[in-house]
Amino acid sequence: MAERSSQSLWGYQALVSLPTVAADPFRELVRRALLALGIIALNTLIVWLDHASYRDNVNNDGVSLIDALYYATVTVTTTGYGDITPVSDHARLLNAMLVTPLRIAFLILLVGTTLEVLANEGRRAIVDTRWRKKMRNHTVVLGYGTMGRSALATLLRNGAEPDRIVVVDSSQAAVDEANRNGMAAFLGDATSRELLRRAEVPKAKHIVITVNRDDTAILATLTARQLNPHAHIVAAVRAEENVSLLRQSGADGVVTSSDAVGRLVGLSAVSPDLGATMEDLLSYGEGLDIAQRLVAPDEVGHSTQEISGERVLGVVRGGLLRRFFDPSVATLKTGDELVVVRPSRKPRPRPGTETEPGTRR
């Protein structure tokens, strides 16, 4: 559900938008207000069509349309001044059989709306607090555009759970889509310190920044790093000259989207086979897959060339990535992680055992 500070009765700038179907409180209030006006209009019509059966006890000049509206208003609100009254038997019968139920319906609508809105806002505040207490070591994605959705799809394929992912985006459509995909989301500016606090960025393990502007990415990275000095931050940037600024702002990994696409297009132009191979590596589920996994016990003590069924591209040891030809990783050790290319495997990797390059467990 969309969160707007003007709609919150409890003073929150932003409540978490969880993947549930709920009505917009403002829209619901408008709908009920229109129902209340409809009851008053119907009551006015009843009195006006039968105005000869009513008496104005003050002016004694008959009942006009304004008098009918006045009578309907004071009747449904149970004010009842008594200056306009039904005098004929059928008018009193209509009041007893029709106007009185309309009055009761109006009161139920008025009181019920107030109580329901207060109860819903209170419930949402409780749900928000409960959600916030259990969120830690999760993934926060700033920007749910094309890059953000692709990054999340990769995370989900590699064992991430949707309920451990939080999306922040300035588009209501993106927030709604994230909810439909089973993820919590916040509507707002990804550079807002208060909003990032409410998204529990200080307790996050991974932060993915895929906003649509480089300056926004730099500011979002700087803010996220200040809130969380230990999280692993990966950011996407369009211009190569901004890579150093992102790294200085605290990003652990930076992907230059425009250069990456340009290189892929260039490879395809030089050789369609090269372009097709690179695209295959970037795609998941068919052909070749690229993955990162722990070295198996029976592989310890062997060289990277002795790994069967896969081609080792690099070895991660002590948190540092070394190329397969680096003599320091000529012999594999316990705890090493291998970056490999292998035939696509349909079964979903077990969470925590395999990741695609650029991610950490």
Average pLDDT, the chain: 80
Boundaries of every domain in the chain: 21-134, 139-260, 286-355
The yes or no reply on domain 139-260 and CATH 3.90.1170.40 is no
Give 269 or 51, the one with higher predicted confidence. Answer: 51
Q: Does the reported pTM lie above 0.85?
A: no
Q: Side-chain half-sphere of 33: how many Cα atoms within 13 Å?
A: 6
Alpha helices in 6-52 (DSSP H): 25-49
**CATH pick for 286-355 out of 2.40.50.100, 3.40.309.10, 1.10.10.10, 3.30.70.1450:** 3.30.70.1450
Residues shown for the chain: 361
Token couple for 147 = 């890059």
Give 259 or 171, the one with higher predicted confidence. Answer: 171
| pLDDT on residue 354 | 47
- Judge whether residue 1 has pLDDT over 50: no
- Judge whether residue 242 has pLDDT over 60: yes
Q: Is residue 231 very low, low, confident or very high in pLDDT (cuts 50, 70, 90)? A: very high
- Judge whether residue 203 has pLDDT over 90: yes
- Judge whether residue 8 has pLDDT over 50: no
Distance of CA 87 to the CA centre of its chain: 60
Q: What angle do CA 20, 23, 28 make, to 5 degrees?
A: 170
Residue 238's closest CA among 220, 262, 264, 269?
262
pLDDT, tens only, 277-298: 777 776 666 678 778 889 999 9
Of 157-166, 173-182, 269-278, 333-342, least confident by mean pLDDT is: 269-278
* β-bridge partners, 165: 139
Measured distance CA(36)–CA(51) in Å, rounded: 22
> Domain 21-134 carries which CATH code?
1.10.287.70
pLDDT, tens only, 327-353: 888 899 999 999 888 887 654 444 344
Q: How much is the average pLDDT of 178-184?
A: 89
